[in-house]
A and B are shown apart, each in its own frame.
Chain A
Amino acid sequence: MTTDGQLVAHLTGPVPGWADGDDGEVVGRLHARLVDSAAGAGLLDVAYRTVATPIGTLLVAATPEGLVRVAFDVEGHDAVLEAIASRVSRRVLHAPARLDDAARQLDEYFAGRRRRFDLAVDLRLASPFRRVVLEHLRTIGYGRTESYATVAAASGSPAAVRAVGTACATNPVPVVVPCHRVVRSDGTLGGYLGGLDVKRALLALEAA
């Protein structure tokens, strides 16, 4: 005799192709369809993907305006996505194809084949002063460095050296906006959100 429990177990069993961690065709197809219709309806506020690089797996997120966040492993990608959901929009979907261009440019950069990023950035996660600093950072060329003091002067606030340090430390789009090119006046590295090893690796890559 069949029990209700067995019967219910059958009804609640796994949907084939959508088991945990399975990128089977049901989940892939329905999720991809959701991303497409969301984008078509103007509801894909934030698309994200991950990109494997020599400095670890980067989380890359974009709004329709441009790249809004690049995050290192050490930041915890789940925590970063939660922060994006509360500060930008809860309408966040994993949509790798929407970030193919960013992923390709990052690949080229880490392979030493790209010296500047041709990507729109959305700096809404930075305050107005920090935005001015970040815009200036985009003008520091590949393989070059500037001191925090120089950046402060260039940003119109020569006394704001510490604030420049904070702007760099909270850069929402590191690597693409090259805060790793800002070092101390005495030549030491200063800080870096992704860790000093990562900053050293990026500067070494660009010096090669």
Chain B
Amino acid sequence: MRPFEAVVADHGPVVLRVVRALLGPADADDAWSETFLAALEAYPRLRPGSDVRAWLVTIAHRKAVDRLRASSRAPVASADVATLAGGVEDESDEAVAERDPALWAALAALPFKQRAAVAYHHVAGLPYAEVGALIGSSEVAARRSASDGVAALRRTWAREEAS
């Protein structure tokens, strides 16, 4: 079994993207930290041959749901677009442009199941059966949530490009 440091190096970035997609950058760092601390605690009991990324996404999902329940907050308003894009100070203009704030804001505005399905399938690469198990849907319904989510994002994004 690999040292936990290798798990952080291999999967840290994708888990950060997943929690950003789920919660927005403001809460993403805390959710990432909670996810990896819980994973570190449980790692010695993880069975050899397990899909480490799927395991981490499962933990991240639970942490994100806990946070959303605790705050039961409204979706991030589009006024927060600049914050959404960042969460890091002193970044270059180039980095901000790459981040595509409009897309992340649109993601934040999606219903949770669509947002989660997009994050788990398209960002984390989980198959729809596993996505469904996480969000409490069938495989078919998970696929539909992701495709509805992507369709909504595409509409928003296309509008941004046109404007």
Task: Write the B72-95 contact mask toward A (1 if CB under 8 angstroms, else 0).
Answer: 000000000000000010010001
What B residues does A86 contact at CB under 8 A? 1
Pull 6 A–B residue pairs with CB atoms less than 8 Å apart, ordered by A: A11-B17, A12-B122, A31-B12, A81-B6, A85-B1, A91-B43
> Does chain B have a CB within 8 A of A195?
no
Q: Is the CB of B103 closer than 8 A to any CB of chain A? A: yes
B133 within 8 A of A: no
Q: Does B130 reach chain A (CB closer than 8 Å)?
A: no
Q: Nearest residue in A to B160 (C-beta to C-beta)?
A: A2
Chain A residues in contact with chain B, CB under 8 A? 1-2, 4, 7-8, 10-18, 25-27, 29-31, 33-34, 37-38, 41, 43, 46, 48, 81-82, 84-86, 89-94
Please judge, given known A-B contacts A7-B150, A84-B3, whether A31 and B8 are in contact too, CB under 8 Å.
yes
In the complex, what's the smallest C-beta–C-beta distance from B6 to chain A, in angstroms?
Answer: 8
Any chain A CB within 8 A of the CB of B111? no
9 A-B pairs with the lowest CB-CB distances in the bound complex, closest first: A92-B3, A85-B3, A16-B95, A81-B3, A8-B122, A18-B13, A94-B5, A10-B100, A90-B44
Known: A37-B33, A41-B41, A81-B3. Contact between A11 and B99, CB under 8 A?
no
Q: Do B154 and A4 have beta carbons less than 8 Å apart?
A: yes
Interface majority SS (helix, strand, loop, mixed), chain B? helix
A31 to B41, CA, bound (A): 15
* Beta-carbon contact of B95 and A30 below 8 Å: no
| B40, A1: Cβ atoms closer than 8 Å | no
- How many angstroms from the CA of A43 to the CA of B119 in the assembled complex? 29
Please tell me which one of the listed residues B20, B37, B88 contacts residue A17 in the complex, with CB atoms under 8 A apart. B88
Q: Which chain A residues border B36 with CB–CB below 8 Å?
A: 30, 34
Q: How distant is the Cα of A41 from the Cα of B153 in the complex, in angstroms?
A: 40
A91 and B12 in contact, given A12-B123, A43-B41 (Cβ under 8 angstroms): no
Check A90 against B3 for contact (C-beta < 8 Å).
Answer: yes
Is the C-beta of B118 less than 8 angstroms from some C-beta in chain A? yes
A10 and B33 contact, CB distance less than 8 A: no
